[in-house]
Amino acid sequence: MLESLRRIVQEVNNAPDLERALTIIVQRVKQAVGADVCSVYLNDFDNRRHVLHATDGLRAKAVGRVRLELGRGLIGLVSERAEPINLDDAVSHPRYQRITDTGEEHYHGFLGAPIIQNRKVLGVLVLRQREKRHFGDDEVTFVVTLASQLAGAITFARTNGELARLQDDGIPQRFLPGLPASPGIGIGTAVVVYPPADLNAVPDRRAENLDNEAKDFLGAVEHVAEDLDRFAVRTQAHLSAEDMALFDAWRLMLESDTLIDGTLSRIRAGNWAPGALRETIAEHAKVFDDMDDAYLRERASDVRDLGRCILTHLQKLTAAPIQYVPNTILVGDELSAMQIADVPREMLAGIVSTTGSGSSHVGILARGMGVPAAMAVADLPVGRVEGRELVVDGYRGRVYVAPGPTVRAEYQRLAEDDAALTSELQALRHLPAETTDGYLVPLYLNTGLVSEARPLGIEESAGVGLYRTELPFIVRDTFPGEAAQMSNYRQVLELFAPRPVTIRTLDIGGDKPLPYFPMHEANPFLGWRGIRITLDQPEIFLTQVRAILRASIGLDNLQILLPMISTVGEVDEALLLIHRAHDELLEEGYQVRLPPIGVMIEVPAAVYQCEALARRVDFLSVGTNDLTQYLLAVDRNNAHVAKLYDEFHPAVLRALLQILAGARVHGREVSVCGEMAGDPLATFLLLGMGVHSLSMGAGSLLRVKRVIRSISRARAREVLKVALQCEDAASVRRLLLDALEAVGLGGLVRPGK
Residues marked as catalytic: 361, 673
Task: Kindly tell me which residue out of 178, 500, 509, 674 binds ligand PEP, with binding defined by CB under 6 A.
Answer: 674
Q: Which does 673 bind (CB under 5 to 8 A by kind): ligand PEP, Mg ion, none?
A: ligand PEP
Residues that bind Mg ion (CB under 5 A): 602, 623, 626
| Pair type for strands 328-332 and 348-353 | parallel
Size of the site for ligand PEP (CB under 6 A): 10
635 binds ligand PEP (CB under 6 A): no
Cβ burial of 167 (10 Å; 0-12, 13-18, 19+) is exposed
Residues 6+ apart with CB under 8 A from 202: 194, 274, 275, 277, 278, 311, 383
Q: Which does 23 bind (CB under 5 to 8 A by kind): ligand PEP, Mg ion, none?
A: none
CA atoms 169, 172, 174, 175: torsion sign: positive
Q: Which does 213 bind (CB under 5 to 8 A by kind): Mg ion, ligand PEP, none?
A: none
Task: Kindly tell me which residue out of 333, 602, 647, 679 binds ligand PEP, with binding defined by CB under 6 A.
Answer: 602
Residues 6+ apart with CB under 8 A from 450: 337, 338, 340, 341, 365, 471
Stretch that binds ligand PEP, among 71-79, 293-301, 475-483, 620-628 (CB under 6 A): 620-628
Under a CB-based contact definition with an 8 Å cutoff, are residues 339 and 328 in contact?
no
Q: How far is the CB of 343 from ligand PEP (least distance, A)?
A: 22
626 binds ligand PEP (CB under 6 A): yes
The residue type at 540: I
Q: How far is the CB of 647 from ligand PEP (least distance, A)?
A: 10
Q: In this complex, which beta carbon is closest to ligand PEP, that of residue 280 or of residue 621?
A: 621
Q: In this complex, which beta carbon is closest to ligand PEP, that of residue 160 or of residue 624?
A: 624
Using CA atoms, how far apart are residues 115 and 152, in angstroms rounded to an integer? 9
332 binds ligand PEP (CB under 6 A): no
Q: In this complex, which beta carbon is closest to ligand PEP, that of residue 128 or of residue 361?
A: 361
Q: How far is the CB of 625 from ligand PEP (least distance, A)?
A: 3
625 binds ligand PEP (CB under 6 A): yes
3-state SS assignment for residue 581: helix
Task: Kindly tell me which residue out of 191, 673, 694, 749 binds ligand PEP, with binding defined by CB under 6 A.
Answer: 673
Q: How far is the CB of 378 from Mg ion (least distance, A)?
A: 25
Task: Kindly tell me which residue out of 203, 356, 480, 623 binds ligand PEP, with binding defined by CB under 6 A.
Answer: 623
Q: How far is the CB of 614 from ligand PEP (least distance, A)?
A: 18
Residues 6+ apart with CB under 8 A from 94: none
Question: Quick count: other Cβ atoms within 10 Å of Cβ 381?
Answer: 19
The residue type at 423: S
Q: How far is the CB of 642 from Mg ion (least distance, A)?
A: 17
Using CA atoms, how far apart are residues 591 and 638, in angstroms rounded to an integer? 47
403 — phi, psi (to 5°)? Answer: -65, 145
469 binds ligand PEP (CB under 6 A): no
Q: In this complex, which beta carbon is closest to ligand PEP, that of residue 259 or of residue 506?
A: 506
Q: Which does 468 bind (CB under 5 to 8 A by kind): Mg ion, ligand PEP, none?
A: ligand PEP
The residue type at 292: D
Q: In this complex, which beta carbon is closest to ligand PEP, that of residue 626 or of residue 646?
A: 626
Q: In this complex, which beta carbon is closest to ligand PEP, that of residue 124 or of residue 606?
A: 606
Stretch that binds ligand PEP, among 245-253, 391-399, 481-489, 621-629 (CB under 6 A): 621-629
Q: In this complex, which beta carbon is closest to ligand PEP, that of residue 186 or of residue 674?
A: 674
Using CA atoms, how far apart are residues 736 and 750, in angstroms rounded to an integer? 13
Q: How far is the CB of 290 from ligand PEP (least distance, A)?
A: 46
Contact string 448-467 vs ligand PEP (x = CB under 6 A): ------------------x-
Q: In this complex, which beta carbon is closest to ligand PEP, that of residue 262 or of residue 680?
A: 680
* Angular region, 265: left φ>0, alpha ψ -120 to 50, beta rest: alpha
Q: How far is the CB of 616 from ligand PEP (least distance, A)?
A: 20
What interhelical angle do 713-723 and 729-742 show, nearest 10?
150
Q: How far is the CB of 659 from ligand PEP (least distance, A)?
A: 13
The residue length of the chain stands at 753
Under a CB-based contact definition with an 8 Å cutoff, are residues 324 and 344 in contact?
yes
C-alpha 233 chain-centroid distance? 44
Under a CB-based contact definition with an 8 Å cutoff, are residues 686 and 676 in contact?
yes
Burial 359-376 (b: 16+ CB within 10 A, else e): bbbbbbbbbbbbbbbbbb
Partner residues linked to 111 by β-bridges: 86, 127
3-state SS assignment for residue 183: coil
Question: Quick count: other Cβ atoms within 10 Å of Cβ 321?
Answer: 6
CA nearest neighbour of 142 among 121, 127, 122, 157: 127
C-alpha 122 chain-centroid distance? 23
Task: Kindly tell me which residue out of 23, 624, 693, 700 binds ligand PEP, with binding defined by CB under 6 A.
Answer: 624
Restricted to residues 494-513, the positions that interact with ligand PEP (CB under 6 A) are 507
Q: How far is the CB of 331 from Mg ion (least distance, A)?
A: 27
By beta-carbon distance, which residue lies closest to Mg ion?
626
Q: Using alpha carbons only, how large is the chain's radius of gyration in Å?
A: 30
Using CA atoms, how far apart are residues 104 and 422, in angstroms rounded to an integer? 63
299 binds ligand PEP (CB under 6 A): no
Q: Which does 669 bind (CB under 5 to 8 A by kind): ligand PEP, Mg ion, none?
A: none
Residues interacting with ligand PEP, by CB under 6 A?
466, 468, 507, 602, 623-626, 673-674
